[in-house]
Amino acid sequence: MMLSRDKIFSTEDYTAFISSFVLPMVAIAIFLGLWSASAKQVQTSLGQLPGPSAVFQQASNLVDEHFAEREKEAAFYQRQEKRNAAKLAKDPNAKVKIRPYTGKPTFFDQIVTSLVTVFTGFVLASLIAIPVGIITGLSNNLYKAINPVVQLLKPVSPLAWLPIVTMVVSAVYVTDDPMFEKSYLNSAITVMLCCMWPTLINTAVGVSSVDKDLINVSKVLRLGWFTKVYKIVLPSAFPMIFTGLRLSVSIGWMVLIAAEMLAQNPGLGKFVWDEFQNGSSNSLGRIMVAVIAIGFTGFLLDRGMLMLQRRVSWDKTAVLR
């Protein structure tokens, strides 16, 4: 009796610990071992393919570079301020110039840029896909009409969209004082074009498969079109819509890297491309750091969406994974 009460871990705790922590760790260890062993076998023109330890080395280099760059930036602004203060002390009417720091973006700046770009594309895509999905889901005829177009555009690669998007953006977006970089717009719009389809299709399917009895309820109550959509159709299609959004985020993130590579948007894609062109002995390691960062960020985006879904979902009993 005493013994079992004093035990910190019960048997269930123990098995749960093994399945949720130990097993993944073992799998990761095996993966790293295989990677390390096979990387040694490959000689490239940039030297040996980097193994886990070389990549870890490059990762810490990238972190160091980031902080070094931030220090340089801080020092630059300090010098500028001092210079300007001295100028003003000499002559209060002197014109002072404040210039922004123009150092190159670090790896982490590029991750942030990528996130901003993918977020823009994703929001644009959702703003189009959800309303269109609702309308097509409500009308069987409209669904039949739109479906071939959607199916035709859905599998198109970002690399095919990008040249078209680039030309359209340079033709349409003409201002002397651009608010956005063209490269940013190009990548965001390409992301939008590639990632709106899962949301659109899932929304349409979710909306069209609302329980017939609930539709009958809305008929008996004589709910207006808007109330019906808002009170009955949307909540009931909500899980499907969210599944679509999650797929869209994943696709958007995947597509973004390709788009940035070609559009030269200052993000992770450009980082990979620049390192590839740079071709130093460190480049492959740095690209692999980027690969891991891309994968990890994609994973976090998906988890984030899942958490959001759990938080806003009405059906707390549903198993979401």
Partner 1 sequence: MKREHLNIDHVTMEFPTPTGAFRALDNVDLVIDKGEFVSLIGHSGCGKSTVLNVVAGLYQATAGGVILDGTEVNEPGPDRAVVFQNHSLLPWLTAYQNVELAVKQVFGRKKSRAEIKQWIEHNLHLVHMDHAMHKRPDEISGGMKQRVGIARALAMQPKVLLMDEPFGALDALTRAHMQESLMEIHADLGNTVIMITHDVDEAVLLSDRIVMMTNGPAATIGEILKIDLARPRNRVEMADDAAYNHYRHEVLQFLYERQRRPGEEAEAVEQEQESTQELKVVKATRAA
**Could you tell me the smallest distance in angstroms from the CB atom of residue 148 to partner 1?**
25
Residue 169, token pair as written in the block = 């953006």
By CB under 8 A, how many residues form the interface with partner 1? 19
Single out the residue of 165, 149, 66, 125 nearest to residue 250, CA to CA. Answer: 125
Say if residues 204 and 133 touch (Cβ distance below 8 Å). Answer: yes
Distances (CA, A) of 99 to 7, 81, 94: 65, 10, 16
**Could you tell me the smallest distance in angstroms from the CB atom of residue 316 to partner 1?**
8
Distances (CA, A) of 14 to 21, 22, 25, 28: 10, 10, 15, 20
- Locate all alpha helices (DSSP H) within the chain, ordered by sequence: 2-6, 11-17, 23-39, 52-90, 107-138, 140-153, 158-172, 182-208, 212-220, 225-228, 234-263, 268-278, 283-312
Residue 199 CA to residue 243 CA, distance in Å, equals 8
Q: Which residue's CB is nearer to partner 1, number 250 or number 313?
A: 313
Q: Which of residues 193-252 bind partner 1 (CB under 8 A)?
A: 211, 213-214, 216-217, 219-223, 227, 231-232, 235-236, 238
**Could you tell me the smallest distance in angstroms from the CB atom of residue 208 to partner 1?**
18
Q: How far is CA 34 from the centre of its chain?
A: 29
Q: Which residue's CB is nearer to partner 1, number 232 or number 287?
A: 232
Query: Of 75-83, 164-172, 301-309, 311-319, which part binds partner 1 (CB under 8 A)?
Result: 311-319
Q: Which residue's CB is nearer to partner 1, number 166 or number 236?
A: 236
Q: Which residue's CB is nearer to partner 1, number 94 or number 308?
A: 308
Residue 264 CA to residue 289 CA, distance in Å, equals 19
Q: Which residue's CB is nearer to partner 1, number 24 or number 224?
A: 224
**Could you tell me the smallest distance in angstroms from the CB atom of residue 318 to partner 1?**
10
- Tell me how crowded residue 249 is: count the other CB atoms within 10 A of its CB: 24
Q: Which residue's CB is nearer to partner 1, number 152 or number 220?
A: 220
303 binds partner 1 (CB under 8 A): no
- Give the residues lining the site for partner 1 (CB under 8 A): 211, 213-214, 216-217, 219-223, 227, 231-232, 235-236, 238, 314-315, 317
